[in-house]
Structure 1
Amino acid sequence: MVFQTVHGRVTLGELSFLAGSFRKVRSLLEAILGRFNSISQGALHLKDLFEFFQIEPAIVSPSQPRPFPLYIQEGFVFDNVGFKYPNSEKWAIRNLSFTLKAGEKLALVGENGAGKTTLVKLFGRLYDPHEGRILLDGYNLNEYDLNDLRTNIGVIFQDYLRFQLSAGDNIAVGDIQERENRPALIRAAKRSLAHDVIDELPQQYDQPLGLRFDGGMELSGGQWQKVALARAYLREANLLILDEPTSALDARAEYEVFQRFAELTRGKTAVLISHRFSTVRMADRILVLEGGKELEIGTHEQLLAQKGKYAELFELQAEGYR
């Protein structure tokens, strides 16, 4: 265009018009190429998404599963169990053998990384052990129907989720089939001491929780934990597991929660994980873990008399209150 303008074949006006057209064409070409680039990047994510949907679960029910017992008769037996997480060479649990009797409350004690939460995951068959076996009433845990097993186990982990749903739906997550059963939701909330919290909300059980949506209300950490506890009580499970469920509660609220827990699980099998020995001593027996192995097991009085690891940790915590 410049060459033709210099030789007089194109006027300055035509040069301005052509230059503007050239810039417009260039921007359109850049936009088209940018779209192709975005499509190619999106295709990479879609490939990951489709591969994710094609993943088959590694843990499934057997072809002829055994139904979960209506009432646990003998209990759970860990027989020389060993487990390590995928892509890890370190054993999370190794050579672990103990019995959780029917109707017994067992407390798990140990420092961080001792294997307490891993043990809970093995109870619910989120993983299968690499060594040994886990028995329920004399039969291997992997012989039971997987959905039936998990339906009969109520677990509240320490890293519970705060769903941006109504208060009632937050509790119904524990057993979604009971979502429309308002009396059951209220009963579970009363057991976890969440009912008084929800009763003060403007819309009570229909009140949206969290601030992501208009009209939502945020709860404190302790109030959220009470709502999360209600999910476990809603399930009416044969085995109830609480994995440090009261870390955000003050001492009085935690005491009240565990007093309720002791009352509501009377005659039921339960596992309790807590770093506070005032609540641990409520259990029938205490299993002390260290490095994924059993260090001590017994009642509170027996372990204190042994003057071992449990007695050491108990005295360290008690010293802070003297």
Structure 2
Amino acid sequence: MPGGGLLPRRVMVAALAGVRLGLSRGLAHLGEVYEHSLFFQNLTAFLGQRPSVVAPSSPRPLLAPGPHTLALENVSFTYPGAQKPVFEDLNLTLRAGETTALVGVNGAGKTTLVKLLTRLYDPQGGRVTLDGVDVREFDPAAYRGQLGVVLQDFTRYQLSARENVALGRIGEADEETRLQGAARQASALELIEGLPEGWNTLLGRQFHVRGQDLSGGQWQRVALARALYRDAPILLRDEPTAALDAETEAELFGRYRDLTRGRTTLLITHRFNTVRMADRIVVLEHGQVIEDGTHAELLRRGGRYAEMYALQAEGYRSAEEQAPQMPEALG
């Protein structure tokens, strides 16, 4: 039969092509399985982690409510794998009901200090105390309940505006009056009420294309409202206005005394125009407190604070001098 051998050859070629395609897909799937197994190993390792900060077997009950004194006593701390310690025998007291401003150059240890105060880490030497009691004697969750914290790298929760603020008091029913008050204090109330669905507007677009994204400064105001909604007796603020515009920052610090009244407050900032209203200013350098006093006292001493303040003031003056001048009106 003419061409009789052609059909088997075509079948064989098609079969080989099918086998080749199957092998290619199988190898591709094997690669995906291997890649996914690496992620699974990471997940397993993560789920297997155990917290290094744990509650004692018999936690000490918390002290009476009200302003508390928070102190670092001879604290030493080194990050894992680091050769140089961040702190060695550091001593610093945040006195009850006072606002302490902490200033210093980058790398001085300011943010690490906040992480020690919040028990994200425990010091390798010395202790952190609350009214003279080592904080390791308290249950970590109960102790952190005394803290209202705004970190420099705050979280942008992809939730509604209401939930973003209400997370300040997890496990408690929302209180509308307190929500409104916290947002107003943080200069966020007008922002939230102006959203498409008000307090119910979903923030961020990670889970929904209709989510409302915010600018860095707007997110920062929401984070501050969350900390104020917590209504904690101790307020720790690490660069709380870094992303705010000048007008909002001025408005916020105009009511700063009201925000901090009755609270023990630590304010970390690089903007020296905001630290003048603090009860005292602490200068941190190379992991040690090198100056401590009021704004006026530190300027009179002419030390490191006065030097940094003058440099920043000179920077503002230089910027003003370089700004284009408006031409005088023609008469």
TM above 0.5, one fold? yes
What is the one-letter code of the residue matched to 2:42? D
| 1:163-312 paired onto structure 2 within 5 Å | 163-178=157-172, 180-212=174-206, 213-312=208-307
Match in the other structure for 1:315: 310
**Conserved 8 A contact 1:168-1:179:** no
Single out whichever of 157-166 and 146-155 deviates more from structure 2: 157-166
Cα deviation for residue 178 of structure 1 reads: 4.2
| 1:68-147 paired onto structure 2 within 5 Å | 68-71=62-65, 75-147=69-141
Single out whichever of 53-62 and 41-50 deviates more from structure 2: 41-50
Match of 1:67, SS state, is: coil
Cα deviation for residue 293 of structure 1 reads: 1.1
Cα deviation for residue 218 of structure 1 reads: 2.4
Match of 1:262, SS state, is: helix
Cα deviation for residue 73 of structure 1 reads: 6.2
**What's the Cα RMSD here?**
2.0
Work out the CA distance in 2 between the residues paired with 1:188 and 1:168. Answer: 11
Work out the CA distance in 2 between the residues paired with 1:178 and 1:317. Answer: 44
* C-alpha spacing 1:72/1:180, structure 2 compared with 1 (3 Å): closer
Question: Would you say 1:44 and 2:38 are equivalent positions?
Answer: yes
CA deviations over 1:89-132 (Å, ceiling 9, x no partner): 12112221121111111110001111111111111100011121
**Conserved 8 A contact 2:217-2:244:** yes
Work out the CA distance in 2 between the residues paired with 1:51 and 1:220. Answer: 35
What is the one-letter code of the residue matched to 1:117? T
TM (norm. structure 1) is 0.92
CA deviations over 1:45-87 (Å, ceiling 9, x no partner): 2122112111111111111111222335661222111111111
What is the one-letter code of the residue matched to 1:78? L
Out of 18, 21, 25, the position equivalent to 2:19 is 25
Match of 2:274, SS state, is: helix
Structure 1 residues without counterparts, runs of 5 or longer: 1-7
Out of 15, 33, 53, the position equivalent to 2:47 is 53
Cα deviation for residue 33 of structure 1 reads: 3.5
Work out the CA distance in 2 between the residues paired with 1:76 and 1:171. Answer: 26
Instruction: Work out the percentage of aligned pairs sharing the same amino acid.
Output: 46
Cα deviation for residue 10 of structure 1 reads: 7.3
CA deviations over 1:248-293 (Å, ceiling 9, x no partner): 1122321221233321221210100111112111111111001111
Work out the CA distance in 1 between the residues paired with 2:256 and 2:73. Answer: 28
Match in the other structure for 2:324: none
Match of 2:266, SS state, is: strand
Cα deviation for residue 319 of structure 1 reads: 2.3
Alignment coverage as a number of residue pairs: 315
Cα deviation for residue 183 of structure 1 reads: 3.0
TM (norm. structure 2) is 0.89
* C-alpha spacing 1:66/1:259, structure 2 compared with 1 (3 Å): farther
CA deviations over 1:128-181 (Å, ceiling 9, x no partner): 111211221111111111000111111111222222221111212222334643
Structure 2 residues without counterparts, runs of 5 or longer: 318-331
